[in-house]
Amino acid sequence: MATHLDLEEQEQLDQLKHFWKTYGNFISWALIVVMSGFAAWNGYGYWQRTQSTKASALFDEVERAATTGDMSRLERSLGDMKDKFGSTLYAQQAALLAAKSFQDKDKVDQAKVALTWVSENASDESYSQIARLRLIALLLQAKSYDEALKQLAKPVALPLTPLAADLRGDVLQSQGKTQEAIAAYSESWQKMDEANEYRRLIEAKLNALGVDPKSSAGVSK
């Protein structure tokens, strides 16, 4: 009996050796790949958490500079944020915050740079489009009408279409293109939620141009 078991064990051992000789290298590499992938995933998670913590701290620096009105410090900290953590939401939020501070301090060029960066680089499309609309408003203020219309030609998310149409109306009206401006304002008024107070402002713009948007045909008064 012992001899019979020894022969069976030897046969199983030989089969195992043959299997390992045939597939062992492949299995070893497969295990290495799997374990490496697992380690990389854990490492990436740690890296993300570390990056998020550092980006949050730098955002606080941007916020402090904006609050105190230190524009030089704001430019430096925003530059660091874009260089080191440009792909994070913190960077996009910081640039939008900085743009407002720059605009409040009449530093329009710096505000344009910050808004352009967000509109072109934001990983979150909502941030990108909000930045673009704010940039268009600055371009309108600077009388850069062609550039503003170029930006307006880009698609926007459905909730932002009324605001984009209103801005288009402002640009066209500034260019003296009254009928085209009326069409843009009318589009904005029609698409704007009736409960939105901003709709009254658009209505006032149309009234000033001799148009009653509430009339069924929208004819001149």
Residues 112 and 46 in one domain: yes
Which class for 122: exposed (0-12), middle (13-18), buried (19 or more C-beta within 10 A)? buried
The Cα–Cα gap between 174 and 176 comes to: 5
pLDDT in tens, the chain (221 residues): 445 445 555 565 555 555 445 544 544 444 444 444 444 444 434 445 566 778 888 889 999 999 999 999 999 999 999 998 888 888 999 999 999 999 999 999 999 999 999 999 988 888 899 999 999 999 999 999 999 999 999 998 888 999 999 999 999 999 999 999 999 999 999 999 998 899 999 999 999 999 999 884 444 44
Domain C-terminal end among 144, 163, 178:
144
Q: Is 157 in a helix, a strand, or coil?
A: coil
- Compute, in degrees rounded to 10, the torsion defined by CA atoms 102, 108, 114, 120: 160
Tokens for 84, please give them. 């080191």
pLDDT of residue 153: 94
pTM of the model: 0.71
Residues 137 and 178 in one domain: no
The Cα–Cα gap between 185 and 199 comes to: 10
Residues 126 and 185 in one domain: no
In a domain, 45, yes or no: yes
Range of the domain at 139: 39-144
Residues 173 and 87 in one domain: no
